[in-house]
Chain A
Amino acid sequence: MVRSAVLGLLLSLAGTALASTTTHLPLPVKGPQTVTLTNSVGQNLCRFLSSAPLEEFEGTADEISGSFTLNPQHLEATTGQIRVSVSSMRTGIARRDEHLRSPEWLDAERYPHVSFEIRGLKDVRITEQTAERASLTAKAVGVFSLHGVDKPMEVPITLTYVLANAQTRTRAPGDLVMVQSEFTISLRDFNIRGRQGIIGSRVGEVIRVWVTLYGSTGVQSNSPGAKP
């Protein structure tokens, strides 16, 4: 009886320790840093690919704004929000772009942004470190909002943090950060139905997404939705 109680206590302690894992950024950075996305560091870009039996097409969205706060002493506590403007989506066919924004698809008028609210990181692993740069992989845990539907999601990310130096100052003040991610979204999960018979034949049921974000700790945060 006592033995099982002790075992239970140990297991719960181990679980708590795992949940509150803290990973440090192996760079001399003090205090939480707010990283604001800016195109002056690099082109903030979202690429997406739709694969369907009748057609495969690629598109982009380049009006991306947002910021996140990264605590170098506790990377798991990272929070923030990234927003992508639906009106900036391009697929190479003007008429298709109009359809994409129409009420049948993404309904840009009612839901002008696709957003991801970052509530934390998990499975953080430092993959590379030098005197001025560190890279890590992690899963960004948060809520993905598309077409008025909020869905909890875990998105794999690769984050590279570069300390400010003479070279980085040519792009933006402060430390620079690059985040890359690749994931898929199911249109059905976000209640996107399109015109009857199109999804599954001309538009893929699942859309593959690649995101590259660039930000700086020395840039003032923009108002929500503003193009950086």
Chain B
Amino acid sequence: MRGWELARWGGLFLCVAALTVWVIHGGHIFTKDKQMVVHREYDPIFDVMRERIEWQPALRLGLDIAGPVAAVGFGLWAAGGWLRRRKKSHRV
């Protein structure tokens, strides 16, 4: 039963961690593998701020991955809680 207790709290941690990372990464629906980086600099020839854009490799976790991971974590936590209550009721 101790293993279940560990899995239960591990599941809760997984759920919270996945959702936290998802929020920090911008709360997008789909996972991105590249991030657009915009470099702005003054262009004295044309007298404008010009932009240079490059795509850099960067994993931005989306809900398509974070959602199922959080759901599995929540499931573990819920199942662990149910087993705990069941065991308690058996003792009584």
Contacts and interface: CB of A to CB of B under 8 A. Distances in A.
A93 B28 CA distance: 12
A54 B51 contact: no
A92 B55 contact: yes
Contacts, number: 53
Contacts of A92: 32-36, 55, 60
Interface string B28-71: 11111111100000011111101111010000100000000000
A126 interface: no
Interface string A32-65: 0000000000110101000000110010101000
A19 interface: no
A4 interface: no
B46 to A, nearest CB: 5
17 contacts: A43-B50, A43-B51, A45-B51, A55-B29, A60-B36, A62-B53, A90-B34, A92-B55, A96-B30, A160-B47, A162-B46, A167-B44, A167-B45, A168-B45, A176-B45, A176-B46, A178-B48
Given A92-B36, A93-B32, A93-B34, 10 more contacts: A43-B51, A55-B28, A55-B29, A55-B30, A92-B35, A92-B60, A93-B30, A94-B33, A167-B45, A171-B45
Interface of A: 42-43, 45, 47, 54-55, 58, 60, 62, 90, 92-94, 96, 133, 160, 162, 167-168, 171, 176, 178, 212
